[in-house]
Structure 1
Amino acid sequence: MAPSRESRRSSDDSCKYSRSNSRLDLPISAATTTETASRPQNASSASSLSSLNSHAHEPNWPREWRAYMCLLGCFFLMFNSWGLVNAYGTFASYYVGHSLRNSDQLELNLIGSTQSFLVLLFSAPAGRLLDAGHFRVVIGTGAVLVPLGMFMLSLAHPRDENALGNYATIWATQGFLVGLGMACYFVSSSQVAATWFPNRKGLAVGFVACGASIAGVVYPTMTRYLIVSLGFATAVRLVATLVLLTSIFSFIFSSPNPAHSHPKPTSYFAVKTWIDKEAFHNKAFLWFTAAVAFMFFGFYPVFFNLEEWAAVSGYGTRDGSVVPLHIAESTNKPLQTFWLLTIMNGASTVGRLTMAAFSDKTGQLNMHIVSQIVSSLLIFVLWTLAGSTAAAIAFCVLFGIFSGAVIGLPPASMANILSCTYDTPETKALAHSKLGSWTGMMYTMAAIPSLVGPVIVGHLVTQYSTYVTAQVWSGAMLLLSALCMLMSRWNLPCVDGEHVWTKMLRTIGKGSKADRWSEKMSTGNETASEADYSTTVRGISQATTRVPSTSVSQKVSSEKFAKLEPTPEQPERMV
């Protein structure tokens, strides 16, 4: 029997009430999208569905030349942000033997960790400004600060290689000023490129991430040979010139897809403009943010201390002397230590690109978990037991491959979490609009660990006069990060919409219980207990494929649908 006119009116009113009060709409309720500002409010669902359909029909590879010029520009953004951080080990190796030879390892690590701290600290505001469409301001600020900081370093450093430098001025230029500019580059690199490649985000972000590893090959090699032939000051000026030229290219061509929407906040002074509270109700986001924090606790101490470890262990040579640790005698013809860092960064390029390509098929978060576990095992087993130059090179190659995915996949993994969270036609557009803010918040929360981790390792090395402390610390932090990633994956649905725990219940013989719970989740059965229903509401942000629908269907009559209107005692259901 067809529903009466009164039943249909009640049904329509219930749908409107539910949509207007949905928690998913709260974070953007005060925003206006530049492309839809002239459209009526009730057209937002149609706009989201249109955006989803356009992504579904887009080719895997864009046909516009601007997409690939933007990809190259974003590559250079990463080249001049984390690429310079990856190359800091070569600068530290020069400082410890020359201008900062009286400084201990803690102070030397502080310069590099200040860079990474500032990059991560300002990721959230930079990401939000990018979401609002201010990409020119963000990238332009970085294009001024990063080259300026490098040029100022050449002036702050003494010309005589035997003269002592002023630690404060070196930290202020290379650590603080360059770090502020890097913060404008980092989030921009992955977020802007992703707008052109909606169906190949993993590979696009992986290509952009290769900028950091390739810079880790170019900058150490370039700096090393230029210092030998021209001196430190001239070498740094030439490096700054390369930074300036690539930054200009990025400023010109790194612009997002014009079809990408940019929600503009009504007020930049409101807290909700900079912090998306919806993210803190998402367990997968919280666990993954904790994983990234632990990762930065232990990741960069490997790069910052690799050259000094090789020098004092007799597996590498460099100019200058080190103060607190005794350099072992070597009999196996060691190579220059900067080559170890170069090899590690070169191998990282392979890992960033190949694993990012496979992650589009296996799932970005799944690939991230595997690479994280393997990286921690390589530190525990191969690095601690390395007893020759050949073993040191083997560690650099293998760790470089897997660590490339570790450091390069977080933005793609966050996009994976968002796509699993907002996977309905009405909410799919939110997954794209929130990528910058969620990624930025994730990195900002990892800022303190990125600052403290290398400093702690530097203190441990100075206190105990052994790099075993650095190895154990880094391996333990990466392993804890992998465990947190596993918990994040636990709270996300699989490809078929089921959670891992549902499959486990069915596997261990509790299939009927899993089926009953899955049926409750998919049909919105009102006979479910209050506790089960509240758990369902809390799990919506992790498994939107199981969100109870309030639309009229063959399974829900119009009379039953009218009863679904939210009341003060019962949380509203999301459409």
Structure 2
Amino acid sequence: MSSADSSHEEKEVPRSTPGQEDLHEANEPPFTAQSDDIERGNVPYEGGAALESVISAKPSVNNIKFVPNGGLTAWLQVLGSFFLFFNSWGIVNTFGVYQTFYETGILASSSPSAISWIGSIQGFLLMMVGSITGPIYDAGYVHHLLLTGSFLVVLGQMMLSLCTEYWQVMLAQGVTIGIGAGCLFVPAVAILSTYFSTHIALAMGIAAAGSSFGGVIYPIIFFNLYQEPGIGFPWATRVIGFIALATLIVSNAVMKVRVLPAGRRKFFDWTALTEVPYVTFVLGGFLSFIGLYAPFFYVQSYAIEEGIADKNLAFYFLAIINGLSVFGRIIPNFIADRVGPLNMIVPCAMISGVLAFCLVVARSIAGIIVILAFYGFFSGALVSLPPTIFVHLTANRGVIGTRMGMGFSVMSIGLLIGTPISGAILKATSFKYVWVFSGILVLAGTLSMFISKVTKGGPNLLKRV
């Protein structure tokens, strides 16, 4: 049989768009023992070139031919990942409703800044723990991460229902749930990359939408259950815990590891600090995250205290932000496949900063709702696009995961300090300066991201970057 005939018999592999390939490669093993050995010169050389590896029949995360790219098992992973996002980022996105409740409820004696530390630590631990659990995932302890994370999220929620003092709430909601959510983050992303190739963007988009759905559903449930004539704060919190338990049982039941990376992961890549596009983008993300979550935490209190809306309506403002964020996490990513992720995130960040300033003059219900709707959409891109951007900024595919973890670790610090600073500004001045602070920081981050785009793609602003 001729080679031409045999090539016709081979199954044609679907071609991916550049953006889809980036998303797939972003979740490959970021640094393997084999590549480390090559750098140290431990791999035998023949004729000046490294010997080729023997092809194994065992499926590899690097071999796209073996990726199912669909089927019942693959789409069950999307369902499981959806609920992982639902109970990690979805819970973090819910804290705004707790912020408003605590200010007039069980933590009324604490300042807004002190209360916001609970939510900021929760989000910080999610990102930080998520960035350092990669080696645990690579070592094969995937279900250990899922079980540990699920247990801590449910435990923290149940313990929260018994809390009456600040330190108790911080321990249960900030620390316990934060660490648990961080344990769920890596499996939610990494497992999908081994099941999808050309459909990876769609699969990731659907799964990531779980965070926005959680941010819509949980606040509505909490508000309608705790207020009179509801069942009160303890049982409202327990109901959310039971919902988390039921949905996480689904994730633990259906999530199935198809193949694990072959090597280990490096924690730090020093060469990243010498690359201006990478450093300026991480700085931009850090600055943006300082100001990004101020509307999420404080817009409900703003509407109530300024007499713009009563508490029954104001509690739905957070649901509006998170509801539009569903589309903001999917549509910009779809467009970014065509125009480039840096070209997409810069205008989205700029618009988010301008919208934060617009809250200064918002004095009507309609005005606030319109601003929040657009803010939810454009801020969603700021959260969902960075993984793809880290891929574009990394020439060596072997350190993508390492650089992503480094970047998110720095950005998590911005998330940690941002809302407490906003709370301190609120205590000293007024909501006007909270929105000004938020807008300035997001726009400062936009400028740094723009510098990253220019240093990466050159002065041609229309170039795909």
The alignment's TM-score, normalised by the length of structure 1, stands at: 0.68
Give the corresponding residue for 1:264: 264
Give the corresponding residue for 2:369: 393
Give the corresponding residue for 2:221: 222
8 Å CA contact 2:80, 2:254 repeated in 1: yes
8 Å CA contact 1:69, 1:253 repeated in 2: yes
Alignment CA distance shift 1:363-1:194 (3 Å): farther
Whole-Å Cα distance in 2 between the matches of residues 132 and 365 of structure 1? Answer: 33
Whole-Å Cα distance in 2 between the matches of residues 484 and 44 of structure 1? Answer: 41
Give the alignment partner of residue 475 of structure 1, picking from 420, 439, 454: 439
For the pair shown, which has the larger CA radius of gyration, 1 or 2? Answer: 1
Whole-Å Cα distance in 2 between the matches of residues 45 and 483 of structure 1? Answer: 44
CA-to-aligned-CA distance 1:513-555 (integer Å, 9 cap, x gap) = xxxxxxxxxxxxxxxxxxxxxxxxxxxxxx9xxxxxxxxxxxx
Give the alignment partner of residue 345 of structure 1, picking from 304, 307, 322: 322
2:263 maps to a residue whose letter is P
Question: Per the alignment, in what secondary structure is the counterpart of residue 264 of structure 2?
Answer: strand
Whole-Å Cα distance in 2 between the matches of residues 404 and 282 of structure 1? Answer: 27
8 Å CA contact 2:149, 2:182 repeated in 1: yes
Whole-Å Cα distance in 2 between the matches of residues 75 and 235 of structure 1? Answer: 23
Give the corresponding residue for 2:247: 246
1:437 maps to a residue whose letter is T
Give the corresponding residue for 2:187: 188
Whole-Å Cα distance in 2 between the matches of residues 412 and 292 of structure 1? Answer: 13
Is it true that 1:406 corresponds to 2:382 in the alignment?
A: yes
Whole-Å Cα distance in 2 between the matches of residues 72 and 288 of structure 1? Answer: 32
8 Å CA contact 1:114, 1:179 repeated in 2: yes
Give the alignment partner of residue 456 of structure 1, picking from 406, 418, 421: 421
8 Å CA contact 2:61, 2:194 repeated in 1: no
The offset of 1:190, in angstroms, is: 2.5
Alignment CA distance shift 1:357-1:452 (3 Å): same
Aligned ranges for residues 292-307 of structure 1 at < 5 Å?
Answer: 292-307=285-300
CA-to-aligned-CA distance 1:462-483 (integer Å, 9 cap, x gap) = 011x111110111111112212
Alignment CA distance shift 1:140-1:283 (3 Å): farther
Is it true that 1:69 corresponds to 2:99 in the alignment?
A: no
Whole-Å Cα distance in 1 between the matches of residues 196 and 389 of structure 2? Answer: 15
Give the corresponding residue for 1:171: 170
Whole-Å Cα distance in 2 between the matches of residues 413 and 122 of structure 1? Answer: 21
Aligned ranges for residues 416-565 of structure 1 at < 5 Å?
Answer: 416-418=392-394, 421-422=395-396, 431=397, 434-464=399-429, 466-492=430-456, 499-501=457-459
CA-to-aligned-CA distance 1:379-418 (integer Å, 9 cap, x gap) = 12x2222120110111111111111111122223223334
8 Å CA contact 1:297, 1:452 repeated in 2: yes
Alignment CA distance shift 1:290-1:46 (3 Å): farther
CA-to-aligned-CA distance 1:59-113 (integer Å, 9 cap, x gap) = 8x81332221112211211111111111111112111122111211111111101
The offset of 1:52, in angstroms, is: 9.9
1:119 maps to a residue whose letter is L
2:376 maps to a residue whose letter is G
8 Å CA contact 1:128, 1:437 repeated in 2: no
Whole-Å Cα distance in 2 between the matches of residues 136 and 435 of structure 1? Answer: 24
Question: Per the alignment, in what secondary structure is the counterpart of residue 316 of structure 1?
Answer: coil
Give the corresponding residue for 2:276: 283
Unpaired runs of 5+ residues, structure 2, are 1-29, 38-42
The offset of 1:28, in angstroms, is: 4.0
Is it true that 1:375 corresponds to 2:357 in the alignment?
A: no
2:330 maps to a residue whose letter is L
Alignment CA distance shift 1:372-1:231 (3 Å): same
Alignment CA distance shift 1:489-1:461 (3 Å): same
8 Å CA contact 1:194, 1:204 repeated in 2: no
1:126 maps to a residue whose letter is T
Alignment CA distance shift 1:484-1:134 (3 Å): farther
8 Å CA contact 2:160, 2:237 repeated in 1: yes
Give the corresponding residue for 2:207: 208
Whole-Å Cα distance in 2 between the matches of residues 119 and 294 of structure 1? Answer: 18
CA-to-aligned-CA distance 1:410-443 (integer Å, 9 cap, x gap) = 223223334xx24xxxxxxxx3x54433222211
The offset of 1:257, in angstroms, is: 4.2
Whole-Å Cα distance in 1 between the matches of residues 410 and 302 of structure 2? Answer: 30
8 Å CA contact 1:149, 1:173 repeated in 2: yes
CA-to-aligned-CA distance 1:334-390 (integer Å, 9 cap, x gap) = x5211111111111112112222222222223222221111111112x222212011
1:398 maps to a residue whose letter is F
Give the corresponding residue for 2:10: none
Whole-Å Cα distance in 2 between the matches of residues 390 and 72 of structure 1? Answer: 35
Alignment CA distance shift 1:128-1:242 (3 Å): same
Is it true that 1:141 corresponds to 2:144 in the alignment?
A: no
1:85 maps to a residue whose letter is V
8 Å CA contact 1:202, 1:412 repeated in 2: no
Deviates more, 1:351-360 or 1:196-205: 196-205
Is it true that 1:92 corresponds to 2:68 in the alignment?
A: no
Whole-Å Cα distance in 2 between the matches of residues 208 and 280 of structure 1? Answer: 32
CA-to-aligned-CA distance 1:207-239 (integer Å, 9 cap, x gap) = 222111111110000111121321111111110
Whole-Å Cα distance in 2 between the matches of residues 122 and 52 of structure 1? Answer: 24
2:218 maps to a residue whose letter is Y
8 Å CA contact 2:61, 2:261 repeated in 1: no
The offset of 1:295, in angstroms, is: 1.9
2:315 maps to a residue whose letter is F
1:369 maps to a residue whose letter is V
Aligned ranges for residues 53-68 of structure 1 at < 5 Å?
Answer: 54-55=63-64, 62-68=69-75
Matched pairs, number:
421
Alignment CA distance shift 1:63-1:40 (3 Å): farther
Question: Per the alignment, in what secondary structure is the counterpart of residue 122 of structure 1?
Answer: helix
Whole-Å Cα distance in 2 between the matches of residues 289 and 468 of structure 1? Answer: 28
Whole-Å Cα distance in 2 between the matches of residues 294 and 74 of structure 1? Answer: 29
Give the corresponding residue for 1:102: 109
1:134 maps to a residue whose letter is Y
1:482 maps to a residue whose letter is T
1:452 maps to a residue whose letter is I
8 Å CA contact 1:202, 1:364 repeated in 2: no
Q: CA RMSD in A?
A: 2.9
The alignment's TM-score, normalised by the length of structure 2, stands at: 0.83
Unpaired runs of 5+ residues, structure 1, are 1-25, 34-38, 157-164, 266-272, 319-334, 423-430, 493-498, 508-542, 544-575
